[in-house]
Amino acid sequence: MQSHFYRDKFIAVAVVLLVLIISLPMALFLSGAISDVVAIVWLTVVVLCIWTGTLLNRIRHRETTSYWPATERFSQTVREISDQDHLLDHIIETLFKTIDGAHLSIWRYRTDDNVLAMLRSAGAPLTPDLSELPFDISIGQLNGTQPVEQLPESALRQGLLALPVDHITLLVLGHELIGAVCIGQDQADGVVEPAILRWLDFMTGHLALVIKNACLVTDLEETITKLQLAYRRTIDAEQEERRHLAIELHDDILSRLTTLSMSLRLNRRRLAIDPNPVAQDLLTLEEETQHLNRRLREITQGLHPTVLTDLGLIAALQAYLDSIGKQALPASAPRIITLTAQGFGDQRIGEDKLETDLYYITRQAIDNALFHAHADQILIHLRWGQNAISITVQDTGCGLRDKPEVLMGQTGHLGLLSMNERTLAWRGRLTFDSSPGRGTTVHVRIPVTQASHVLANLQAHTYHLHQAREPVLMP
């Protein structure tokens, strides 16, 4: 900013001196102090000096003259194109034609991963095909457009040399790193004209602003698309859960209630004729009523277990594993389930909705391993640390038959979708590590602001399951 101030001040002084030099002979000529020949000669000398100065300025600052059309095209492109993808395409095309190198690429800096990710490239393809580069140097170590060989020893330098890239220019706004422009030259030339480098330094501020705006708009559009897709999937998952609940209530509970009602009606009629058999039927009806009571409790506990509200996440998972241990499971079910929890103790998660989502994420991962993995053992570990809660569910089964993103949303795999949506709702991350014959490990990490006060507390529970001889329908 200070250099621009002095430059503008110099231009103003030069204009004043130029006006004085031109007006002085005119004034002397009009006053009769000099002849018309002297005035013409004086003006001719002034014009020659101005022309010579302009020519020297063009030679001295080539980038401000020969590259001015490219600057104008760049500004016009930014003004006229609203679609960010097309804008980036036109920018890379304009830069590539102007610099006239073998390769040109624009990279975006991702703060979360601390890497440079390629946005656009033009010219010869890079070999090897690296779309990301680690950024392990400080911004202060780069000053303007700099040869890659002069970079400090780093993973970034080695990656650029492997591409190969000859020069790099960082795109910075204030103290914020936006990205970089990389130039590759032909092996025969290997030299970038200084005028090109000065022009590129002049354009870095404009490029940084355009790249940042384009990335912000693109990220916003992707976020909106993901939210719309997540909303649609959530609705589908809720409808599927309601359908399963309706089928279970209709085919099991309602049919049993209908049978119970008919039996009561029949026994009421038989009571006046022969009351002796009625006593045995009433005993059977009492057992049926108790069974219905247990099934309704199981359904309501599945919708939202009261132990989760009363005692918390770990107690609710223990109760769920206890209920599994009392059921007759298919022969493919595991024999042992181990649950360990670190950092919980008697402390409760302050956010009720987060606790509920953690419960259902863990429960769904357990169900997937229980009924689909054909595993001998399931290991469950929950850890509450200083700034995150993590869940790991590992089985020794057959592994996933396809990629998780492919399985999500397919018929019968809405559980994976539900796990993913619940995790994303808390800005968490869900990952799967699976290979055929080596089992599956599900890992969930959700950031929290409430740190655990009992980091050293460790709980461990082991559950031995019973397999049924006859196949059991899997949910």
Domain with 416 in it: what CATH number?
Answer: 3.30.565.10
Between residues 193 and 190, which one has the greater pLDDT?
A: 193
Residue 393 lies in a domain: yes
Where among 178, 199, 222 does a domain terminate?
222
Instruction: State the DSSP string of 92-130.
Output: HHHHHHHHT-SEEEEEEEETTTTEEEEEEEEESPPSS--
- What pLDDT was estimated at residue 469? 39
- What pLDDT was estimated at residue 297? 66
Is 56 in the same domain as 104?
A: no
Is 312 in the same domain as 371?
A: yes
- Domain range for 20: 2-60
Instruction: Please give the C-alpha separations between residue 426 and each of 274, 292, 419, 420, 441, in angstroms, as whole numbers.
Output: 65, 37, 12, 10, 21
Residue 178 lies in a domain: yes
Interatomic CA distance for residues 297 and 304, integer angstroms:
10
Residue 265 lies in a domain: no
Interatomic CA distance for residues 102 and 124, integer angstroms:
6
Is 130 in the same domain as 203?
A: yes
| Number of domains present in the structure of the chain | 3
Residue 159 lies in a domain: yes
Is 29 in the same domain as 158?
A: no
Between residues 294 and 218, which one has the greater pLDDT?
A: 218
Instruction: Please give the C-alpha separations between residue 472 and each of 173, 259, 300, 374, 397, in angstroms, as whole numbers.
Output: 63, 24, 22, 13, 18
Is 413 in the same domain as 340?
A: yes
Residue 189 lies in a domain: yes
DSSP H or E segment with residue 442: strand 440-447
Where among 222, 252, 275 does a domain terminate?
222
Between residues 16 and 229, which one has the greater pLDDT?
A: 229
Residue 213: how many CB atoms within 10 A of its CB? 14
- What pLDDT was estimated at residue 69? 66
Is 456 in the same domain as 367?
A: yes
Confidence grade of residue 214 (pLDDT, cut at 50, 70, 90): confident
Residue 462 lies in a domain: yes
CATH number at residue 201: 3.30.450.40
Task: Read off the pLDDT of residues 81-108 as tens digits, 9 standing for 90 and up.
Answer: 778 888 888 888 888 888 878 888 999 9
Is 44 in the same domain as 94?
A: no
Where among 202, 222, 242 does a domain terminate?
222
Is 214 in the same domain as 163?
A: yes
Residue 66 lies in a domain: no
Is 311 in the same domain as 209?
A: no
**What's the alpha-carbon Rg for the chain, to the nearest Å?**
38
Is 319 in the same domain as 452?
A: yes
Is 109 in the same domain as 51?
A: no
Task: Read off the pLDDT of residues 103-155 as tens digits, 9 standing for 90 and up.
Answer: 889 999 988 788 999 998 888 877 777 788 999 998 888 878 888 888 989 99
Is 32 in the same domain as 96?
A: no
Residue 195 lies in a domain: yes
- What pLDDT was estimated at residue 330? 76
